[in-house]
Amino acid sequence: MSCGVAKCPDLAGLEIYLYWRRSLSRGSLEMVFLSYSHTDLDFVKRLSQRLIQSDVKVWRDEYKLLPGDSLTDRIRGAIDQASILCVVVSDRTFASGWIQQEIDAGLLREQQKAGFSVLPILIKDVQLPGVLGDRLWIDFRESFEDGLSHLLAYINRTSAADSMSGTVEDAQYFLYYAAEEGWVGGLYDLAFDIVSFDREERFCILALVRFRGNEVATQEGLLKRGIQSVKNYVLCACSHEFSTNPARVELHPNKPVRGKFYVQAEEGDLRFDAQFEVKMLGANRGETTIFNVGALFSQVCRPDEERK
């Protein structure tokens, strides 16, 4: 494996920071495709907002389609990237030919992709047609909040995310870390949050790292390479590389440093791109500190688990 480090000053720091922070406690890495009649747009807007606030990615034609886009191609592409197709069902739903095409595409995707599902969402008293009638459905007819709670519970159950946390300490340092890994659009995704304390200092270092695999980093592709613990595969590769090529940054009080690097397999086709943010928190008399970002990975790497 190899790594490369480069400065990346144009990252949207605040957005990435909040996303990473929320990702460690959220229950989902799923993207939901909403299929609906535009007569139900008020409900869909409300639902979209609440799902996004719960850190669920939402695809909706109103803000995802651009002028000149092929409607069919964009919708099919979005369904391919989604984990759930939610069909908002009212008395106008099945009068739309587009909705039927989206349902058909979703049913086909359900046969092709493990974990993908088509889920009706009832907002009116409507008899579900045969193709949807024998499915689990979410009831929003009596209470929006109850329906939302059940929908989020369903999304969480279908999420492939896994989390871990722990501490590492010695005579000089204390380190706490938490991570969440999962699959976004079928590709590996790892969010890492590390807080490092020097026992002789009055400040701590907060590091946030986000890894995203390329098109080869699917569950099937990684298993073919004998990689059972992707998390440790990535972290131990970083530990090995940064042990000989340290990644040092200069930190100023409460001023984050952001950057990016990559982890790539020796054969060249498997790659994980990473973005990081490092920030010094607490009192340090206004002085700057040189911090080795790469050293963090040696603390959380578990070589014995890499291929278990």
In tens, the pLDDT along 37-92 reads 989 999 999 999 898 888 788 887 654 444 444 456 667 777 877 889 999 999 88
Distance in angstroms (rounded) separating the CA atoms of residues 184 and 278? 24
**Got the DSSP string for 164-208?**
EEEEEE-SSEEEEEEEEEEEETTEEEEEEEEEEEETTSSEEEEEE
- d(CA 220, CA 230) in angstroms, rounded, equals 12
Structure tokens at 64: 């995802």
| Per-residue pLDDT at 170 exceeds 50 | yes
Q: pLDDT at residue 17 above 80?
A: no
Angle at 160 between CA 87 and CA 79, to 5 degrees: 35
> Domain 31-158: which topology?
Rossmann fold (3.40.50)
What percent of the chain shows pLDDT beyond 70?
A: 77
State the average pLDDT over residues 217-232.
80
In this structure, the strands spanning 31-35 and 84-89 are parallel
Give me the sign of the Cα torsion angle 58, 112, 38, 121: negative
Model pLDDT, residue 63:
43
Q: How many CA atoms lie within 13 A of 215 on its CB side?
A: 1
Residue located via tokens 């047609």: 129
Of 4-8, 41-45, 110-114, 172-176, where does the model show the most confidence? Answer: 41-45
Give 287 or 4, the one with higher predicted confidence. 287
Q: What is the arithmetic mean of pLDDT over 83-105?
A: 87
pLDDT of residue 90: 93
Cα separation of 32 and 118, whole Å?
A: 10
Average pLDDT of the residues of the chain:
76
Of 6-20, 98-112, 172-186, 190-204, the one with minimum mean pLDDT is 6-20
Residue ranges matching CATH 3.40.50.10140 in the chain: 31-158
What is the C-alpha R_g of the chain?
A: 22
pTM over 0.75: no
Beta partners for 7? 259
Spatial distance between the Cα atoms of 109 and 35, rounded to a whole number of angstroms:
15
* Angle subtended at Cα 73 by Cα 42 and Cα 128, rounded to the nearest 5 degrees: 50
Whole-angstrom distance, CA of residue 281 vs CA of residue 12: 20
